[in-house]
Chains A and B, each alone.
Chain A
Amino acid sequence: MQVTLKIFRYNPEKDSAPHYETYTLEAEPTDRVLDLLEKVKSYHDGTLAFRRSCAHGVCGSDAMRINGVNRLACKVLVKDLGTTNITIEPLLGLKVVKDLIVDMEPFFENYRKVLPYFINDEPPPPDGRERLQTPEERERFDDTTKCILCGVCTTSCPTFWADGQYFGPAAIVNAHRFIFDSRDRGAQQRLEILAQDSGVFRCRTAFSCTEACPREIQITKAIAEVKRAILTGRLD
């Protein structure tokens, strides 16, 4: 089949303003959108810039807007789009560096602010073995361990677009992963950070993040749990 790609292009070394280029190419219904981008780069225009690595939805490199929706280009097949006209644009809310590449640093900066690492200064068990955790305790935060930091959720959040101060859903997801880990002791510190102005209460429960997450994390639910923990002071 033939598909038409309309791609957002911007090369700061040459262009004074962004524009769109259109490419028509042969595709299989089962091609990933990433395969199409590779084809354009290989045979139409080698200057096209985008990030990619794993090509199967686990590394988080190729988040972009595909027909207006934030997705991983490697996780969308042509046939799933329901059209042969495909518009590809960079994520919103982050500065475009070149073509589909945005500056992810503000995103990671927010992530680092929530103390996204295990905190527990108590000595591990004297036999040197693992800290015990029941399957139920482990299940409590399973969903939020799946995050690949692709930025799809944060850059589809209307609050994040409106206001660069908001940590955004991805940072909260990563805080949740530790707050509800029975082995962790840093919940209080993180909840204090998330209770700040830039924290969870900016979330307006628009659900855009949950709908967009390529890992199907129940983000809005996780944010609600963090909000509740702040309000009640309890972690159950």
Chain B
Amino acid sequence: MTMQRHQYDVVIVGAGGAGLMAALYATKKGAKTAVLSKLYPTRSHTGAAQGGIGAALGNLEEDHPEWHTFDTVKGSDYLGDQDAIEFMCYQAPAIVYELEHMGLPFSRTPDGRIAQRPFGGHTNNRTGKPVRRACYAADRTGHMILQTLYQQSIKHNVTFFNEFQVLDLILVNGKVAGVVAIDIATGTIHVFHTKAVVFATGGWGRLWEITSNAYTLTGDGAAILFRRGLPLEDMEFYQFHPTGIYKLGILITEGVRGEGGVLINDKGERFMERYAPTVKDLASRDVVSRAIYIEIKEGRGINGQRYVYLDVRPETVNKYAAIDGRTRPDGSPYVVTAEELLQKLPDIIDFSRTYLGIDPMAEPIPVQPTAHYAMGGIPTNIKAEVLADEKGTVVPGLYAAGETACVSVHGANRLGTNSLLDIVVFGKQAGIHAAEYALGTDFEPLPKDAADFAISQLETLRNSKGSERIADIANEMKRVMMDHVGVFRTEEGLTEALNTIRELKERYKHIHLDDRGKIFNTELLSAWELGNLLDLAEVTTVSALARTESRGAHWREDYPKRDDKNWLKHTLAWKRENGEIELRYKPVVITKYPPKERVY
């Protein structure tokens, strides 16, 4: 196999919001930096984010980073590390201004400031009512963040290797020495000799059948590190967003409810009143997703089907705004028109028209919970350094940021708008610290056989002699994850899922690929990605089976209560040499906010 070598101080894997932010800072710090991305940067899924980025700017009403901190701690169901959460929420205003100074076209308030809207779980801590904290650019905030950061990367001459897929991490004496990647266009293997690596490879929503995540979100980074003997943290905490388009899973932003949209069951009831009397439709995502499942289970899905309505017709919005006594910032009653909603939510209206053939100004949107966001992932600290164990031992030269990392700022449940914040805050930390580290250290010698493992993985797949189609294995995995490792879980279901996943891992050894070529062999790479997903499915299920309590997004029907006495701790999972998964635990960092019952 032909091979090429490169040498960089810092290699960044991934060019979403987290990777680009890291790249900008590492480059600015003077480290020779390369970004490797399997997608052209602007194709990254950060571009799909709609609703907003959270920061207590207080542009429309009183707000404080302290309130943002508390809301995030509470939203995390007290599993988030409070030092990290506080750090992120206090950095938030400055980093949003930094994005604005880079040219990000935020929507504006009448007095020319960054516009802000309410989002689930973000509250005025005095009244408990929703607060306008989500800074937005219409309903394409992520698109604008991704575009802006990519534009800045062009301006600052960041070096990119686009459509390069990283396959392996090389550690020598426990320190980073390089990564191995394939140039997708040619099939050539490239070895990058480097002092520091930042993994910013995003999430793994493709584990589930109904998902808001792109085809390419297959958890490559997390799976690579896991195979290299590093732990993954809190994998049982995976967020289902309440409002995905029925059957397709395409996301309908919480911003729709922020603008006054409500969830309605088959009886025409606004059922969130029963589950979260104070904030109702703007309760935390785990709470709303469970409520929808219960409505469906009790027969109140629309026409008995597995969906409910998200109603954002102006007359509905205005009716419930009047009932709630909702007001504008100037104190006048909240009354919307279709034009205003069209302007604030153009993409949502476009999705509904394109995929459902309906106009949400005239008809309600059929929705069901959709797999959305990984709270868990590669354990890191505030400097984005990757941790090797429960004692916080740092892996020299290894960094992770964005959805693939677990700092942990989201704990058991992420609040909307906090991921876009997380990716820029910790992407920046990763870039700064990786560059500083790399500039102060020497290269580890790169072993001669550095690429061997990656090559053998690909060759095994390419030459596999079985008859299994990867699509069949993938579909079976997604189904079992949806049925048993989704919003509601039980010991029985999780055990069944685990058995199935292990069977699928066996079947995976007997796949058949049609494409034996080199150029854009996307079948081969999909097969490799499926291997990653199967590893992550297994560790998610094992972690979920062990946690005999209900907290945030991890809801055990057989253990329906949060159990702080036994379970106020993070899970760490290792893959051991013999293939077994070992679980250990580490305490949650609690600074100011002792755990309390969580009601909305």
Contact = CB atoms under 8 A, between A and B. Distances in A.
Interface centre among B155, B185, B515 (most CB of A within 10 A): B515
Interface residues of B, number: 60
B144 A54 contact: no
A179 interface: no
Given A14-B517, A47-B517, A145-B144, A55 B214 contact: yes
Interface string A92-128: 0000011101001000100010001110100010001
Contacts of B114: 130
Which of B102, B114, B519 is packed against the most chain A CB atoms within 10 Å?
Answer: B519
Interface in B495-545: 513-515, 517-523
A42 B355 CA distance: 23
Interface string A174-211: 00011001011000000000000000000000000000
Given A101-B520, A104-B40, A54 B102 contact: no
A132 B43 contact: no
B398 to A, nearest CB: 26
A54 B206 CA distance: 11
A131 interface: yes
Contacts of A183: 103
A26 interface: no
Interface string A33-71: 000000001110111011111111111110000000000
Interface residues on A, range: 35 or more
A129 interface: yes
B551 interface: no
Contacts of A87: none
Residue among A58, A104, A216 with the most chain B CB within 10 A? A58
Contacts of A132: 111-113
B42 A149 contact: yes
A148 B154 contact: no
Given A56-B48, A58-B48, A148 B42 contact: yes
A46 B514 contact: yes
Given A124-B97, A148-B143, A184-B103, A55 B215 contact: yes
Contacts of A59: 39, 42-45, 47-48, 214
A236 interface: no
A177 B155 CA distance: 16
Contacts of A13: 517-519
Main secondary structure of the interface of A (DSSP, over half): loop
Nearest to A46: B514
A133 interface: yes
B566 interface: no
B518 A61 contact: no
B430 to A, nearest CB: 22
Nearest to B514: A46
A4 interface: no
B362 interface: no
Contacts of A137: 108, 112
A54 B214 contact: yes
Contacts of B147: 145
A138 interface: yes
B100 interface: yes
B467 to A, nearest CB: 13
Contacts of A148: 42, 47, 143
B94 A128 contact: yes
A117 B42 contact: no
A30 to B, nearest CB: 8
Contacts of B161: none
A58 B48 CA distance: 6
Contacts of B151: 116-118
Interface in B254-301: none
A45 B148 CA distance: 39
B469 interface: yes
A97 B520 contact: yes
B458 to A, nearest CB: 15
6 contacts: A13-B517, A43-B469, A53-B215, A57-B354, A58-B347, A117-B103
Interface of B: 39-40, 42-45, 47-48, 57, 94, 97, 100-103, 105-114, 137-138, 140, 143-144, 147-148, 151-152, 154-155, 185, 214-216, 248, 250, 347, 350-351, 354-355, 469-471, 513-515, 517-523
Given A56-B355, A137-B108, 12 more contacts: A46-B514, A46-B515, A49-B521, A53-B216, A54-B43, A59-B48, A117-B155, A132-B112, A134-B110, A142-B138, A149-B42, A184-B103
